Amino acid sequence: MRLAWAIIAGLVLGAGIAWWLSREPAARTEAKQRRAEQAATELAREARPSLYRWRDAAGVLQITDKPPKDRPFERIDRAPDRAIEVKGDRGD
């Protein structure tokens, strides 16, 4: 009978220790959530259509839809103007 109680106590103690070691502290969980949100924001920014402004060898300003490979450039987001509203149901 003692052996059965010792086995049960060992299993309960082992389960408690396994649970304790497998849980994550709240600070680590919050840090993971913050990094995931930052990554999602960056991915959403990269997915928006953009233009690239740069100067060629002659110093002429170029604006293209693909960034140059060998020159510094500035990214320009092409977000639609929020003041424009498009409605497909014209009442003509």
Please name which of 54, 49, 48, 51 lies closest in space to residue 69, comparing C-alpha atoms: 54
5-43 pLDDT per residue, tens:
889 999 999 998 888 888 777 777 888 889 999 998 888
**Alpha-carbon gap, residue 45 to 47, rounded angstroms:** 5
45-87 pLDDT per residue, tens:
777 778 899 999 999 999 998 999 999 999 887 766 666 666 7
